[in-house]
A = this chain, B = another copy of it.
Amino acid sequence: MKNTYRFFVAPELLTTEFVRLEDAELVHQLGRVLRLAAGTQIMLLDGQGNQYTLELTGVSRTCVTGRVLSTGPAPDPAYDLTLYVALIRPERFEWVLQKGTELGVRRFVPVHFSRCLPNERTDGRKTERWQRIIREAAEQAWRGRLPELAAPLSFAAACTAVAATQYTYILWEGSAPPLREHLAPSAATASYAILSGPEGGITPDEIALATQHGIMPVSLGPHILRAETAPIMAAAVLCYAFAP
């Protein structure tokens, strides 16, 4: 099913053979932008690991209907990676959401580090925009799961939130061992949390607090990566190490 259009929809729309889509944006996209007609096949995803091949039976201005031809599992990484990303400049943050989604991140948590710029705040409009970026990237990348966007946390709350995660790292430019030495080669189904700081760097207090919570400072090499590049390199590395 290469080159098939793929869309995440609410799972409750996919409980019967005949499907009715009324979401205004999706209906506009299918009918007006892509100009799909009855008979075309598209792929719907429930965001929870299942995909449904749908043959369109009707396309109107307000509604698209179709019939499920087949269902099956939608592949997604077996490991569970949460990126705790500093609220960096919006265009960079959005870039981390897009690339991180392509590279298998399962959950994004925006974090207020003490050196975040004071005006990097979130609001409802930003959250909606970010969710759209994630959804579109997940559809393009053929992700089976729709990555989550969590509410922003303080740095201290983030340190507490990772408690249940099996492997937790904080990316640091200081004298830390390379990530390579601490990535268990057999942990392809484990849970990972990676914390990544802002443009101004991570403070010694933050490193101390993270270490107290069992979060391991790791280095990504001798060069200085931008705040948006480091988390993406880390996501790429997990993809490389654990993708089938």
**Which of A's residues lie within 8 Å of B, judged by CB?**
75, 99, 102-104, 140-143, 178-180, 220-226, 229, 232-233, 236-237, 239-241, 243-244
Q: How far is the CA of A141 from the CA of B226 in the complex (A)?
A: 8
| A141 touching B224, Cβ below 8 Å | yes
| B224 touching A103, Cβ below 8 Å | no
| B221 touching A239, Cβ below 8 Å | yes
Contact A140 B75, CB 8 Å, known A99-B229, A233-B239, A236-B236:
no
Q: How far is the CA of A75 from the CA of B223 in the complex (A)?
A: 8
Please tell me which one of the listed residues B142, B178, B220, B240 contacts residue A223 in the complex, with CB atoms under 8 A apart. Answer: B142
| A103 touching B233, Cβ below 8 Å | yes
- Complex contacts, A244 vs chain B, CB 8 Å: 178, 221-222
Q: How far is the CA of A244 from the CA of B179 in the complex (A)?
A: 11
What is the oligomeric copy number? 2
Q: How far is the CA of A233 from the CA of B244 in the complex (A)?
A: 16
Of A75, A102, A142, A226, chain B has the most CB atoms within 10 Å of the CB of A102
A39 to chain B, nearest CB (A): 25
7 interchain residue pairs of minimum CB distance: A221-B243, A236-B236, A233-B236, A237-B240, A141-B223, A142-B224, A141-B224
A206 to chain B, nearest CB (A): 17
- Complex contacts, A223 vs chain B, CB 8 Å: 75, 102-104, 141-143, 239, 243
| A239 touching B220, Cβ below 8 Å | yes
A124 to chain B, nearest CB (A): 28
| B140 touching A102, Cβ below 8 Å | no
- Complex contacts, A220 vs chain B, CB 8 Å: 239-240, 243
- Complex contacts, A141 vs chain B, CB 8 Å: 223-226
- Complex contacts, A225 vs chain B, CB 8 Å: 102-103, 141
| B142 touching A221, Cβ below 8 Å | no
